[in-house]
Amino acid sequence: MPVRVPGLFTLVLHTHLPWLAHHGRWPVGEEWLYQSWAASYLPLLRVLRTLAAEGRQSVVSLGLTPVVTAQLDDPYCLDGMQHWLANWQLRALEATTLRNQEALRDFGSREHAEAGRALEEFDTLWRHGAGPLVRQLIDAGTVELLGGPLAHPFQPLLPPRLREFALGEGLADARQRFAHTPTGIWAPECAYAPGMEQGYAAAGVGHFMVDGPSLHGDTALGRPVGDSGVVAFGRDLKVSYRVWSPKSGYPGHPAYRDFHTYDHTTGLKPARVTGRNVPSEEKAPYDPQRADAAVDRHVADFVDVVRRRLISESERIGRPAHVVAAFDTELFGHWWYEGPVWLERVLRALPAAGVQLGTLRDATAAGFVGTPVQLPPSSWGSGKDWQVWNGEQVSDLVQLNVEVVDTALAAVDKALEQSATPGAPSPRDFVADQILRETLLTVSSDWPFMVSKDSAADYARYRAHLHAHATREIAGALASGRRDAAQRLAQGWNRADGLFGALDARRLPRP
């Protein structure tokens, strides 16, 4: 039996995509959703269901943003996903018929089997969306659910009223979908501004994630923020970066499937990385056995890294330490094809090697909490500050957001005031609801991130301005006394942006 190492290890996964339904297909749009669903969400849920069936508990703290779960439960998206999986199967079948391309035919056979498995699993288990599947994992104690605010806004740049509303509605959305209200959140972009912990405490949030530098690199224990009692857990970069960093990590190994190299006939990805500077046309064919051996080596390496880190950090602080490794869920499968297999093996190998697994909630309950701390303004973006979301490159979006939010709040306040009846409950206001829905989509942190990183920047700016236009159009009709026109406009925009059906403008804090 391996010697048990001191302390606790927590794996945190952050699952998020912006609202993509009804907003383009290729190269950016719904295709992004379906690729991530097929490559990451399906296999991740398969892994977690397998571990749950074995009675394993407290395996992972799983962050699911309201905007991604809205899509994974949406009938339109479920239908689109089924069509996408069937198309994947057909493309793989086509690859098996190509002449004079033996390697691609063999690859197509494997892809055809994998697509068939995914399609059968989707039809059998996902008929009613992700909600029931995730709830089973929460009920089994296999995962801790981490929530977040609606539409993933960069919270430090929001006025307090909208920040409070987005968080409260996001937690309510999770409660409605999963019959569980998260007590922990993955703050969008790990973004923090002084004072936000008070809002968390008021919303019933007891712990949240920040990046390691926010705690000055000392992530060995969670830290209460000020006198709030709300605990900030920091990502251990020495461990997390072993898997994936801006410059290196396991997915770049020559044996793994190359994400960027396509067969343009079938749209499949039949090559392996081969080498860092090898051009796509010279990439070697993918070899599953070679990749599988690399997975085992990287599992062993990661287990060794975690063991050594727990031992060294425990010695440094003079008590059992807590190590948190945190990643975007989409890394596992979408960006790194072998990621889900690595994940399942590492979650078995760590306990077998004497490492105790636990969630962030477990860490709090077990006392892996240090002395209070004051956190600086921070994020997990470049520079660990706010520059990705409020830098010069996105100053136009920052100004757009300020103007749209001011317009929206004024319009909603007026709408609710008009509909109020003294001595009686105010009725639900569909127009006010849609104004807030479009506003939250406008201020999604995804748009400035994509611009700053030059990743589909034109699409990101288009989306931000589209939702800003919707907000202004509805609010303008309302402000000019054309309530019927505002109602028609709200209904029209709702056909594309009808997510968060329980969003209720009446819960917006009053000015």
- Per-residue pLDDT reduced to its tens digit, 429-461: 999 999 999 999 999 999 999 999 999 999 999
**Closest to 500 in 3D by CA, of 68, 186, 36, 13:** 68
Q: Answer yes or no: do 85 and 232 share one domain.
A: yes
- Per-residue pLDDT reduced to its tens digit, 490-503: 999 999 999 999 99
Is residue 256 assigned to a domain? Answer: no
* CB-CB contact of 350 with 56 (8 Å): no
Tell me the sheet residues that pair with 9: 323, 357
- Per-residue pLDDT reduced to its tens digit, 264-320: 889 999 999 999 889 999 999 999 999 999 999 999 999 999 999 999 999 999 999
- Per-residue pLDDT reduced to its tens digit, 368-385: 999 999 999 999 999 999
Q: Answer yes or no: do 327 and 426 share one domain.
A: no
**Closest to 488 in 3D by CA, of 411, 414, 404, 431:** 431
Q: Answer yes or no: do 356 and 418 share one domain.
A: no
Is residue 311 assigned to a domain? Answer: no
Q: Answer yes or no: do 239 and 329 share one domain.
A: yes
Judged on CB neighbours under 10 Å (0-12, 13-18, 19+), 481 is exposed
- Per-residue pLDDT reduced to its tens digit, 34-45: 999 999 999 999
**Closest to 254 in 3D by CA, of 283, 297, 289:** 283
CA atoms within 13 A on the CB side of 41: 28
Judged on CB neighbours under 10 Å (0-12, 13-18, 19+), 425 is exposed
Is residue 53 assigned to a domain? Answer: yes
Tell me the sheet residues that pair with 249: 244
Is residue 315 assigned to a domain? Answer: no
Is residue 249 assigned to a domain? Answer: no
For the chain, give me the number of helices (H) and strands (E)?
A: 18, 8
Residue 245: pLDDT band with limits 50, 70, 90:
confident
Residue 323: pLDDT band with limits 50, 70, 90:
very high
- pLDDT value at position 100? 76
Residue 426: pLDDT band with limits 50, 70, 90:
confident
Is residue 270 assigned to a domain? Answer: no
CATH number of the domain where residue 358 is located: 3.20.110.10
Q: What distance in Å separates the CA atoms of residue 395 and residue 160, rounded to the nearest whole number? A: 21
Phi, psi torsion values for 231, nearest 5 degrees: -95, 130
Q: Answer yes or no: do 343 and 425 share one domain.
A: no
Is residue 67 assigned to a domain? Answer: yes
Quick check: is 211 catalytic? no
Percent of the chain with pLDDT over 70: 99
* Mean pLDDT within 112-121: 97
The residue from 31, 218, 328, 385 that is catalytic is 328
Q: Answer yes or no: do 129 and 68 share one domain.
A: yes
Give me the number of domains the chain comprises: 2
Q: What distance in Å separates the CA atoms of residue 18 and residue 450, rounded to the nearest whole number? A: 11
User: Would the CA dihedral through 435, 437, 442, 443 be positive or negative?
Assistant: positive
Which alpha helices (H) appear in 320-429, and where do they start and end?
A: 339-352, 360-365, 387-390, 395-419
Q: Answer yes or no: do 31 and 128 share one domain.
A: yes
User: Among the three residues 383, 413, 429, which one is the final residue of a domain in this structure?
Assistant: 383
Q: Answer yes or no: do 105 and 197 share one domain.
A: yes
Which residue in this structure is represented by tokens 């709300």? Answer: 230
Q: What is the 3-state secondary structure (H, E, C) of 403-415?
A: HHHHHHHHHHHHH
Question: Residue type at 14?
Answer: H
Q: Answer yes or no: do 403 and 347 share one domain.
A: no
User: Among the three residues 342, 361, 383, which one is the final residue of a domain in this structure?
Assistant: 383
Quick check: is 189 catalytic? yes
CATH number of the domain where residue 419 is located: 1.20.1430.10
- Per-residue pLDDT reduced to its tens digit, 47-70: 999 999 999 999 999 999 999 999
pLDDT of 321 strictly over 90: yes
Question: Residue type at 16?
Answer: H
Q: Answer yes or no: do 234 and 369 share one domain.
A: yes
- pLDDT value at position 74? 98
Residue 1: pLDDT band with limits 50, 70, 90:
low
pLDDT of 423 strictly over 80: no
DSSP 227: T
* Mean pLDDT within 99-122: 92
pLDDT of 324 strictly over 90: yes
Structural domain harbouring 488: 391-507
User: Among the three residues 342, 362, 383, which one is the final residue of a domain in this structure?
Assistant: 383
Q: Answer yes or no: do 419 and 477 share one domain.
A: yes
Helix (H) or strand (E) holding 322: strand 322-328
Q: Answer yes or no: do 81 and 143 share one domain.
A: yes
* CB-CB contact of 63 with 235 (8 Å): no
The residue from 189, 263, 344, 433 that is catalytic is 189
Percent of the chain with pLDDT over 90: 92
* CB-CB contact of 180 with 145 (8 Å): yes
The encoded tokens of residue 46 equal 């398969």
pLDDT of 421 strictly over 80: no
Q: What is the pTM of this model?
A: 0.96
DSSP 243: H
**Closest to 448 in 3D by CA, of 430, 463, 431:** 463
- pLDDT value at position 168? 98
Is residue 289 assigned to a domain? Answer: no
- For the chain, give the mean pLDDT: 96
